[in-house]
Amino acid sequence: MNLDLFSDSNGNDAAHDEADASAQIAHLKHVLHRHAHAYYTLDAPEIPDAEYDKLFRALQAYETKFPHLKSPDSPTQRVGGAVLPEFQSVRHQVPMLSIRTETDTESSGALAFDSRVRKELAYDAQAPAIDYVAELKFDGLAMSLRYEQGILVQAATRGDGEYGEDVTQNIRTIGQIPLKLPQNVPGILEVRGEVYMRRDDFEALNDRQRKKIAGGAKGEKTFVNPRNAAAGAVRQLDSNIAAQRPLSFFAYGLGEVQNWPQNLKPFQTHYELLQSLKLWGFPVAEQTRCVQGSEGLIQFHAKVALERDALPYDIDGVVYKVNDLSLQQKLGFVTREPRWAVAHKFPAQEALTVVLDIDVQVGRTGKLTPVAKLAPVFVGGVTVTNATLHNEDEARRKDVRVGDTVIVRRAGDVIPEVVSVVVEKRLANSLLFTMPQVCPVCGSPALRDEGEADYRCSGGLYCRAQQKQAFLHFAQRRAVEVDGLGEKLIDQLVDAGIVNTLPDLYKLGLTALVQLDRMAEKSALNILAALEASKATTLPRFIYGLGIRHVGEATAKEFARHFGTLDAFMSATEESLLAVPDVGPVVAKSVIAFFAQAHHQEIVAQLRACGVHWEEGSPAEKPVQILSGKTVVLTGSLPTLSREQAKEMLEAVGAKVAGSVSQKTSYVVAGAEAGSKLDKALALGIAVLDEAGLLQLVKGSLHDSA
């Protein structure tokens, strides 16, 4: 192929008509896509890098001369030049759901999953083994790639599963992700997978960062682990910078699919789906296998565990999926998790290090947490310098002291913890750890409620630590979201006494902000604009942003759905709170206690007066089910059902499963070795059922006399 595309025999620029240019561009795009696939996906390059670069430059030359012929699927568009002003929110048409995690890291974890699947399918002992697909569980960032008519038009992060962030420009920089698919694909195709960073690429990136820092570069930093480096690159506003971060991608599933081609045979199995993804140009982990039954799962888990450290990227377990798609559909979902899939974790990774000091940190709710400051140690894929001791009882139980040599554990994204002390290496003059009697931040008394393991600062919003954490929590992306209001800015605002309560944020003026360190007028105006924008929020985000103890993001959504309005939620009784799905006595009492404090009600009123608002509606109607309004208590071991399985069955038909027996209890389901709960039920005259009775009750065939 002639690459001297714009020179005639005299070396002068020659005019090429548009038709010829269009044909040349189409040909170059085809050739470059083919070579990129061979290089990135097949790991089998067909031409030297210099030849690929020559073809690439030829395409760039054509597109420069005929810019209107440049298209989104061009290889030249992998590296964008524009700095994005912000990330747009993307709603997933098919939610990006999480899968259940099996924390039993032994072979029994695989056995338990296979047993659950067979039970759900009503397979007896004579039924054949179930076919599964076994995959790696990557330690990266979940991503959804949307193709329309075979062209990559959007890439979005998982976000909260319903809404993610549009990161298309950055994802275009990943060479393994096709910009254009073959012709015989669905008109709309969402490919789900994981963006990650290889360990060698991560180390090379950090080496470059260290050299920049040593050279005096400002604002540069090294990265903690490959996953964080990958996530930071994906969420980088400048796609030129993102392109400098070496990212990779593995595909493992589909989201929305529409306009299926008539000549494309529908998938019967998940493995067929994965093979089609490979044919369409997506990398799929070569370790993926089809296996049969629990024995196949166990062998795969053991094999990958042995190979884990030799892999070029981080994983923290494996994933099992029922292969037959019709069986997946039959199994369905429970609590937004598929019954047909599970993530089987590996045993936690551990390492030895030394405790340099023990600090006490103050959390958002005033909780005092002892934290061991460690000599840096690489464990679980990251360099660990801190490990939680949880509370005084746990620190005393393990008897962790300054100077001790300890075993530290980190698994996945779990906070590192001290497992145990190597007593043989203890220093002779070491001192027993004791919790301080006052808050280390504000000096207020540290109190411990009866029955609780944690000490808490009694200073409330008087305590700077709690003030700062309350502001950070309120302003975070999953709560009310105030873009740009980060930890350093909040530190200055609180330390200077400019803000003391949440409503003070909306009373900030330009004069107060520009006086802060490193706060120019433009930055101050951006903060004020972000505060103004944050006034339009949603009820679940606002409830979550209030920082009510024990009320997480999912629970806030349930409260908003159940009550419809904030006033109804604030005035709810404990009984009405307990009627909300997955809300127990601890959460209900926490909500009651929160709104019983006058200053919390005043904060809400002031936030509303400042213009913070959201849409409200009618409370969600709860369908009447077989056991709606009934309370059931489980005690003892049932012959075939686990406690969790029995609970899921009861809740699926409207029952509330309680932990203790009272006069409000409708039934007690008792198995082997039932204890005091059974005795109390008999004393109160409450109906007692065995497993067979439970199954009849769930099916509605037991006469309801309770």
Cβ atoms of 173 and 226 within 8 Å: the answer is no
The helix/strand/coil state of 174 is coil
Q: How far apart, in whole angstroms, are the C-alpha atoms of residue 518 and residue 509?
A: 16
Could you tell me how far CA 593 lies from the centroid of its own chain? Answer: 30
Backbone φ, ψ for residue 518 (5° rounding):
60, 35
Backbone φ, ψ for residue 321 (5° rounding):
-135, 135
Annotation marks residue 137 as catalytic: yes
Cβ atoms of 436 and 446 within 8 Å: the answer is yes
What's the residue count for the chain? 706
Out of 137, 321, 630, 677, which one is annotated catalytic?
137
336 Rama class: left (phi>0) / alpha (psi -120 to 50) / beta = left
Report DSSP state, residue 37: I
Q: Are strands 405-410 and 349-362 parallel, antiparallel or unpaired?
A: antiparallel
Question: Nearest Cα to 294, choosing from 66, 556, 486, 112?
Answer: 112
CA dihedral 335, 338, 339, 340 (to 10 degrees): 180
Cβ atoms of 123 and 346 within 8 Å: the answer is no
Could you tell me how far CA 116 lies from the centroid of its own chain? Answer: 25
Element (H, E) at 521: helix 521-534
3-state secondary structure 258-278: ECCCCCCCCCCEHHHHHHHHH
Cβ atoms of 408 and 379 within 8 Å: the answer is yes
Cβ atoms of 271 and 290 within 8 Å: the answer is yes
Cβ atoms of 201 and 176 within 8 Å: the answer is no
Q: Which residue pairs, CB below 8 angstroms and at least 24 apart, start in 174-177?
A: 174/78, 174/247, 174/248, 174/249, 175/36, 175/39, 175/40, 175/78, 176/40, 176/41, 176/248, 176/249, 176/282, 176/283, 177/145, 177/152, 177/249, 177/282
Per DSSP, what are the bridge partners of residue 147? 152, 189
Question: Tokens 């993001």 — which residue?
Answer: 553
Q: Which residues are catalytic?
A: 137
